[in-house]
Structure 1
Amino acid sequence: MLDFCFIIAGNGSLSLRAWLSKQLWKQENCGLAKIEHAKGMYALYYDETQTLGYKGIVATPESTEVSCSSIPKEETLCAYLFVNHEAYSSYCKSYNEYFSWVSERNEARFRGTMNHGQGYDAKNMMHTIGLLQQAKEILSKSELQVQRFNREELLRIKNGAYSYDELFVWSQKLFQEVQELCLHSLLPVAPDQDRLRQQLVDMRKHLYQIKL
């Protein structure tokens, strides 16, 4: 939470940690009072003697909210503190999503990514290149080639033989070629739904050996 706290300084702001360091102050000795009608804004006071019972800015490093204290009327205001709750909430959401992914990820696939050292999901990139190549073939030849003629090349991608930059340029080139082919392809704009439906029926009849 402390990383999302800022001190209002002139026409700008300063991170709370930097401001406390400059003052040689501790967050535990600070007291906060909420400012009415100003979301996320607090008046900050400091107790060098540690006798006023201030709760500090946060109670513990794991706190998800700042702490407010009872401030004596005669105390001198030190600064105005802004807490960016929206940014903190967004950070927490991303943090939780990341560790949820860590707990559910395919460990063998993740280790493969770490081992080849290229910093990207090589299996994902292999499929990206492969699918773009198939799209190009469908548009240029009007046929789908399931058995890949360049199997070894695709496996080299999976094994991390190419850098991310090389694959990015490669995929962009293929994507542009696919877009260009789309403009001149003789393929129909949409599939024949009736024909597809009949093919599905025929496949199921053959699968279950049904004679109607």
Structure 2
Amino acid sequence: MHPVEALFVPLGRAMRKRRPDEALSLANAPELRTSGRITLTSHAFADGGVIPAKHCGALIGTSTSPALDWSALPDGTVDLLLVFEDLDVPAAVPGLHTVVAFPPTGGLVEGALRADDPRFRFLPLRLGIGRYVGPRPLPGHGTHRYRFHLYALDTRIDLTALSSAAELPGTLAGHVLASGTLLGTRTT
């Protein structure tokens, strides 16, 4: 453990029981429900497995996005939306780490999600910056579950038109053809 992390352990332990209501996850928004399914996988970790350090944030790793693969996309897919969230952040709602839209592909190689790559359109979240932000649980808080969501859309989404992530469900209503999730964990 990095010496700076040790300073936050008492706070993390004090907040161990504070977890958001998972029902408030973006994945549970009625506007995003669909019967179409995508199988989302990573070579870096199994569903429910530990996310390797290099894919984590400050003082753990380098926030290098993991390689992601998915099953065949439905006909009519025009755009993909990838959402990465922390289901256990000590807050009222799950914490969004990354929201990014991009043209349909068969997968993403490790490190692909870079703000300087014009294929990727990020929704600015933390400090007004749009990029991949790796897992970084509060030290001492316990195990955090991190969920990647992938949505196949029948239209191109303009993330610059949104003022916040709260507008995503309304913007995507009626446009989700299929979805899939991948869960990873991290403990500090």
The TM-score, its normalising length taken from structure 1, stands at: 0.20
> Rg larger in 1 or in 2?
1
Higher strand share: 2
TM-score w.r.t. the length of structure 2 is: 0.22
More relative contact order, 1 or 2 (CA 8 Å, 6+ apart): 2
Bigger proportion of residues as helix: 1
